[in-house]
Amino acid sequence: MNENKTPATSPVKIKRKTLYTLLIAGGALLVAAAIVLIVAFTLPKEPGTLDEPGPVEQPDDTPDDDDDEEEQPGSAEVVFALPVQGATVGTAYTFWYNSTLNRYNLHTGVDFKAPAGTSVTAAYGGRVESITDTLLEGGKVVIDHGNGLKSEYASLDVSPDLRVGGNIERGDLIGTVSAAADAMGNEYNEGEHLHFEVTLNGESVDPVTYLDLDEK
């Protein structure tokens, strides 16, 4: 009588089964590791783990005392001293008829009528930009006060001590009113006077903006 025998498992099949088992186990480990990493990076951190932002530095709005003490040239706070004390205010900054030239034009300054030889002083501190002498304007001094603000003095006998580039203080002597016959030819008929102009950034402005005419 023949006995039924179970065929022996092939060594090749055993190896393949072991390899499949290892691959499946390795894949499972990789999936598990990936899940752990995803959970670690997606879960919210515990309170207090975030870096606290540092205090925000606030701008210093405290006014500078030095700015309050010093007037800034070119601003409405600047007040010029009268360049001629005791003078009579003649032609103002206006459109007028110039009888000397027989035409209408803008009078770009203020005339201070005073006898020839009357002292003329700087209306504000600054640097002497130029000193000229022409037939139409006579002696003329331009003072640069900074920030685009300048004052001009025409029909002037310039002081011999004045120098281009020199610093000058408010109230310093810069010359005297010149005789109308010798200077300011384009306003000869107006008589002896100082012609005073102000410019800001190269544009003519009414000197009354910076003058305190109640001072006279």
Q: Say which residues have a Cβ less than 8 Å from residue 194's Cβ, sequence separation at least 6.
A: 83, 84, 87, 111, 112, 114, 118, 120, 153, 154, 155, 156, 177
C-beta separation of 156 from 141 below 8 A: yes
Helix (H) or strand (E) run with residue 166 in it: none
pLDDT tens, the chain, 216 aa long = 444 444 455 555 556 666 667 667 666 677 666 665 565 555 555 544 444 445 545 545 544 544 444 445 545 588 999 999 988 887 777 655 555 556 666 678 899 999 999 999 999 999 999 999 988 788 999 999 999 999 999 999 999 999 999 999 999 999 999 986 554 566 666 678 899 999 999 999 999 999 977 655
3-state secondary structure of 17: helix
Claim: this prediction has a pTM higher than 0.95: no
Helix (H) or strand (E) run with residue 23 in it: helix 11-42
pLDDT given at position 148: 96
Q: Which of 80, 108, 73 is nearest to 195 (CA)?
A: 108
pLDDT given at position 49: 43
Using CA atoms, how far apart are residues 83 and 112, in angstroms rounded to an integer? 8
C-beta separation of 202 from 158 below 8 A: no
C-beta separation of 90 from 65 below 8 A: no
pLDDT given at position 91: 79
Using CA atoms, how far apart are residues 204 and 169, in angstroms rounded to an integer? 23
- Alpha carbon distances (Å) from 167 to 43, 75, 146, 176, 194: 73, 21, 12, 19, 22
Partnered with residue 216 across adjacent β-strands are none
| Region of residue 155 (phi > 0: left; psi between -120 and 50: alpha; otherwise: beta) | left
**Residue 131 CB coordination number (10 Å):** 17
First to last CA, the chain: 152
Using CA atoms, how far apart are residues 129 and 151, in angstroms rounded to an integer? 10
